[in-house]
Amino acid sequence: MTYILGISAFYHDSAACILKDGEIIAAVQEERFTRIKHDSSYPKNSIDFVLNYSNLTLSEVDYIVFFEKPFLKFERLLETYLAFSPRGFTSFAKAMPVWIKDKLFQKKNLFNKLTQHDKKYNSDKNIFFSSHHLSHAASAFYPSPFNEAIVLTADGVGEWATTTVSIGNKEKLEIKKEIHFPHSLGLLYSAFTFYLGFKVNSGEYKLMGLAPYGKPIYEDKIKKLIDIKEDGTFRLDQTFFNYATGLTMTTNKFHKLFGNKPRNPAKEKITQFHMDIASSIQKVTENIMINLSKSLKNEYKINNLCLAGGVALNCVANGKILKEKIFDNIWVQPAAGDAGGSLGAALALWYIELKNKRFINSNDAMKGSYLGVEFSDSEIEKELKIAGAKFEKFNYEKLINSVTENLLEDKIIGWFQGRMEFGPRALGNRSIIGNPKSEKMQKELNLKIKFRESFRPFAPSILKEDLPDWFDINIDSPYMLFVAEIVKEKKIKMSENQKNLFGLDKLNIKRSEIPAVTHVDYSGRIQTVSRNTNERFYDLILNFKKKTGCPMLINTSFNVRGEPIVCTPTDAFNCFMGTEMDYLVIGNYILNKIEQNKNLLSNYKFKFNLD
Ligand SMILES: [Fe+2]
């Protein structure tokens, strides 16, 4: 047996995973344990978990691989600051001591930290370093169901690369070309995220959710910032941006071009201007991704596309690439951000360095991305008793029936089952679920449960075989990474008066038979659910369909705004008691809010720093 431990850390989203002879055994993000969103610290808890889960001590692990090359990254920072000097001095002075202390000497640093897991671990000879985008590319290609694929990665920045193109063939994966820093699609999107007053590296979803409320009237102005070639490659005019040199993202020249300063979220409401900006940058991003896809397809004549890197989490753009029918098949790594780099680094070592044979799984090799922590009945009971919870145990059938009854009454339910998901999406194991036919549900869920902006959409989890009856695509989307439009028959047309409503006023109009999961442009971010990857979730949705004819549920992640997705039954109970959720279902146990001790109620609204 060969065991490989993959680690990503010290940038965004620290994570760890274990491969056993190339098979993905466990993978988890550190934020879930420390309860600090996007935690980038050394993933001690994650490493402990993946080792425990695999019944291993660290000294029994054959290889340890880190997701990027710290020295190259240091070189990039150094050269950038020299190139932009003296403008770059502020940020350089701030970044430099951290780099010298922690990042440049990563191998020694990593080795020292690793020794805390196991006293017998005494040599750094088995520590390897992948490169940032090779890790992304490997995480996208190797678990995919494809023998051969074009692999496109795009993010903010790794060492130097911001966008790469690779060709994967069986066990081979080779990077063919790269776009380098400071020209970055991820940083362009992040610059606009910053400009709209959202947090960089987490508010990108908000920008994407806001875009359909606006019109892309600033598309031409954005093209002054970025020179897009016909093949989709691009260069950014650095006079508009500050990310290479300063500690903000955009310059005064940028603000002058669009006519406003960056939005101050504490003082300024979102206006039509912000929605139009969001719509415009989303459209530019989609067009770049579509043009890149088209030119790559022409060049390499391969019918499969794999995607990873933070930009691959833009499920609206993914949906557009799909709709253009450029490729026969597209597969996106569910942990497309840097957490997934741990997995890609381990896979790259197994296939590229150790030259092992690859056996392709016709679904994919991610096991539904259910790769994290799980709890037995006795562990659940123990935690719930300590928390002071009142609960009742049900058998499988009764549990499914009882939850369905509650959904029919528009109750909001915390649904905690099996192994936690790897990646930013909850896929039915750490989810909050509700009735998508309810007209009040979107608002209630946003304001009373998630404590977040009312414009943000919710996703449907739909039985895979029913997808074409409701949405205009027919693919497998198990990881909620494609957006598609609701079919015509299920839409409710807006009246002429309603059509003229602006922005957020459109939110209160029922636009389809499933209003709670219908975004303002009739789109939905889809998760297809299959019985072979998530039996319990599938059976619940099937039962709901039998009663209502509607083969889907609302599925949003089990957390409040700013909180990492819940990991343990205790996290779930605390979140349940801190919000207006009606029921909590953990494994075979159901908790009714009305029966809980009122003294344990709390207000979660201000518990976490807003994202
Ligand atoms: Fe990345």
- Predicted model pTM: 0.93
78 CA distance to ligand 1 middle (Å): 19
Q: Are strands 413-416 and 392-393 parallel, antiparallel or unpaired?
A: unpaired
H/E run at residue 404: helix 396-408
312 CA distance to ligand 1 middle (Å): 10
309 CA distance to ligand 1 middle (Å): 5
212 CA distance to ligand 1 middle (Å): 26
**If you average pLDDT over residues 591-608, what whole number do you get?**
87
**Closest Cα to residue 506, out of 555, 455, 547, 540?**
455
Helix axis angle for 89-98 and 70-84, nearest 10°, is: 160
pLDDT of residue 521: 86
Residue bearing the bigger pLDDT, 105 or 140? 140
158 CA distance to ligand 1 middle (Å): 6
180 CA distance to ligand 1 middle (Å): 13
187 CA distance to ligand 1 middle (Å): 11
Q: Read out DSSP for 240-261?
A: GB-TTTSSSSB-HHHHHHHTSP
Is residue 453 pLDDT above 80, yes or no?
no
341 CA distance to ligand 1 middle (Å): 7
155 CA distance to ligand 1 middle (Å): 5
Is residue 381 pLDDT above 80, yes or no?
yes
- Confidence band of 86 (pLDDT split at 50, 70, 90): very low
511 CA distance to ligand 1 middle (Å): 37
CA 354 to chain centre: 30
181 CA distance to ligand 1 middle (Å): 12
CA–CA distances in Å: residue 520 to residues 469, 496, 503, 523: 20, 16, 9, 7
**If you average pLDDT over residues 327-334, what whole number do you get?**
96
Is residue 87 pLDDT above 50, yes or no?
no
Neighbouring C-alpha atoms within 13 Å toward the C-beta of 490: 23
Is residue 91 pLDDT above 80, yes or no?
no
Residues 6 or more apart whose CB falls under 8 angstroms from that of 309 comprise 133, 136, 153, 154, 155, 163, 186, 336, 337
338 CA distance to ligand 1 middle (Å): 5
- 3 strand-pairing partners: 20
186 CA distance to ligand 1 middle (Å): 9
Is residue 261 pLDDT above 60, yes or no?
yes
Q: Compute the CA torsion angle 138, 127, 422, 526 (nearest 10 deg).
A: -20
Sign of CA dihedral 129, 131, 132, 137: negative
Residues 543 and 177: their CA atoms lie apart, in Å, by 49
Residue-wise pLDDT for 433-447, tens only, equals 999 999 888 888 888
Query: What tokens does 76 get?
Result: 């990039």
Measured CA angle at 293 (ends 472, 320), to 5 deg: 25
377 CA distance to ligand 1 middle (Å): 37
163 CA distance to ligand 1 middle (Å): 10
Residues 192 and 194: their CA atoms lie apart, in Å, by 5
pLDDT of residue 103: 53
Residues 248 and 144: their CA atoms lie apart, in Å, by 37
Is residue 347 pLDDT above 90, yes or no?
yes
* Chain mean pLDDT for the chain: 91
Query: What tokens does 65 get?
Result: 């691989």
Percent of the chain with pLDDT over 90: 74
The region of weakest confidence among 17-21, 330-334, 510-514, 528-532 is 510-514
How many other CB atoms are there within 10 angstroms of residue 55's CB atom? 7
122 CA distance to ligand 1 middle (Å): 30
Sign of CA dihedral 462, 467, 470, 471: positive
Q: What are phi and psi of 474, to 5 degrees?
A: -135, 75
Neighbouring C-alpha atoms within 13 Å toward the C-beta of 502: 7
514 CA distance to ligand 1 middle (Å): 35
pLDDT of residue 246: 64
285 CA distance to ligand 1 middle (Å): 17
611 CA distance to ligand 1 middle (Å): 20
343 CA distance to ligand 1 middle (Å): 12
Residue-wise pLDDT for 36-66, tens only, equals 999 999 999 999 999 999 999 999 999 999 9
570 CA distance to ligand 1 middle (Å): 31
**If you average pLDDT over residues 83-112, what whole number do you get?**
59
132 CA distance to ligand 1 middle (Å): 6
pLDDT of residue 287: 94
531 CA distance to ligand 1 middle (Å): 32
The region of weakest confidence among 500-509, 565-574, 584-593 is 500-509
Residues 306 and 330: their CA atoms lie apart, in Å, by 6
**Closest Cα to residue 263, out of 203, 338, 220?**
203
Residues 471 and 312: their CA atoms lie apart, in Å, by 21
Contact (CB, 8 A) for 207 and 193: yes
Contact (CB, 8 A) for 181 and 157: yes
pLDDT of residue 232: 86
Is residue 455 pLDDT above 90, yes or no?
no
Is residue 90 pLDDT above 70, yes or no?
no
Residue-wise pLDDT for 470-512, tens only, equals 999 888 999 999 999 999 999 887 777 776 666 666 667 788 8
**If you average pLDDT over residues 243-259, what whole number do you get?**
86
Q: Are strands 161-169 and 413-416 parallel, antiparallel or unpaired?
A: unpaired
pLDDT of residue 432: 97
**Closest Cα to residue 34, out of 50, 48, 45?**
45
12 CA distance to ligand 1 middle (Å): 8
Residues 369 and 342: their CA atoms lie apart, in Å, by 14
333 CA distance to ligand 1 middle (Å): 12
Percent of the chain with pLDDT over 70: 92
540 CA distance to ligand 1 middle (Å): 36
73 CA distance to ligand 1 middle (Å): 12
Residue-wise pLDDT for 160-185, tens only, equals 889 999 999 999 999 999 998 889 99
How many other CB atoms are there within 10 angstroms of residue 566's CB atom? 27
- Confidence band of 81 (pLDDT split at 50, 70, 90): low
Q: Read out DSSP for 566-585?
A: P-SHHHHHHHHHHS---EEE
Query: What tokens does 102 get?
Result: 């922690």
Contact (CB, 8 A) for 146 and 360: yes
Residues 209 and 278: their CA atoms lie apart, in Å, by 9
H/E run at residue 416: strand 413-416
Contact (CB, 8 A) for 184 and 164: no
367 CA distance to ligand 1 middle (Å): 23
Residue-wise pLDDT for 183-236, tens only, equals 999 999 999 999 999 988 888 989 999 999 999 999 999 999 999 988 889 999
30 CA distance to ligand 1 middle (Å): 16
pLDDT of residue 94: 52
Residue-wise pLDDT for 514-547, tens only, equals 999 988 889 999 999 999 999 999 999 999 999 9
pLDDT of residue 247: 65
Cis check for the bond before 436: say yes or no (omega within 30 of 0).
Answer: no
Per the listing, tokens 């889960």 go with: 53
334 CA distance to ligand 1 middle (Å): 13
136 CA distance to ligand 1 middle (Å): 7
Q: Read out DSSP for 417-442?
A: -SSPBSSSS--SSEEEEE-TT-SSHH
143 CA distance to ligand 1 middle (Å): 18
Q: What is the CA radius of gyration of the chain?
A: 24
Query: What tokens does 501 get?
Result: 């409503």
pLDDT of residue 456: 79
Q: What are phi and psi of 180, to 5 degrees?
A: -110, 155
